[in-house]
Amino acid sequence: MSSLTPNLRASGLMIAAFVIFSGMAILARAISDDIPVIQMVLVRQALSMVFLAPLFWRQRAAIAQPRRLGLHALRGGTMLGGMVCGLSSVILIPLADATAIQMAEVILATALAALILREPVGWRRWTATFVGFVGVAIMVRPFGAGVDPYAWVALLGAAFGAVNMVILRVGAEADRIETVLFWQNVVVLAIVLPPALWFWVPPTLAQSGILAVMAVIFTAGMWLMTSALRLGETSALAPLHYLRLLMMAVAGWFIYAEVPSLSTVIGAVLVLGAASYTISRNASKRVPQPPTPTAP
């Protein structure tokens, strides 16, 4: 791994996170008829805190003295918005539709990285991003049902996700991953607890098991994604979100019989091409790796 460029290593971590999050979307659908989304988020975050407690305890000195607490609070808020909108959209509309609309996050993240982070975004990456966006535009109505009003929920989730990516990169050199994840969880739990308790529905044993599995894979996914965003450039990783679209389209096809149309296939080809080019570009272009912050 040490011989690979930071962007290529980050690309691998990000793709692994997408595989995990795709599985979580399928589990959310399985219990969505009975369990409110806000309750899913609460249980997922609470169990995530429990799973990571030993790690948090070992790094308690650094966690107790966060250097960018304001950024952690802002990131927690945008993370919560992205999670609620993302889960709601994959439940309310077809998986590929929801994911396709969320791909607007790629354009927003690339633009914000160039404007706010001053990351170098050459014409090749802009071209790859644009080609992927064209593929997404073709797939906005992949099953011929038209644009559902709930599509706006997916689009709002994309905006939250783009801002969150940039916030994480802004504070990448300030705190350890453990500090980032701890304060993110604290902020999300503080905001989500009152409404979740208000709408609480007692889960069955099977539903409790699904919620527990969702929490496990969510924790693993967040660790992978956080590590990827700290390691690689936002503008380099953003186009890889198109791979998530392919994963969700395949899941919708095989599990829910959401058969994709010709426009979906055409869009998928463009998406895969953009993502493949991005990975090859990450392998060939070396960038300075940000220093890993140490505990005080």
Residue 60 has pLDDT above 70, yes or no: yes
**Rounded Cα–Cα distance for residues 33 and 159 (Å):** 26
- pLDDT tens digit sequence for 237-260: 767 777 777 788 888 888 888 776
8-state DSSP, 143: T
Residues 6+ apart with CB under 8 A from 143: 94, 96, 97, 258, 259, 260, 261, 264
Contact 157, 85 (CB under 8 A): yes
pLDDT score, position 158: 84
**Rounded Cα–Cα distance for residues 187 and 182 (Å):** 9
SS3 of residue 234 by DSSP: helix
- pLDDT tens digit sequence for 15-51: 888 888 888 888 988 898 899 999 999 998 898 888 8
Residue 1 has pLDDT above 80, yes or no: no
Of the pLDDT bands very low, low, confident and very high (cuts 50, 70, 90), residue 145 is low
Q: What percent of the chain has pLDDT over 70?
A: 82
pLDDT score, position 210: 92
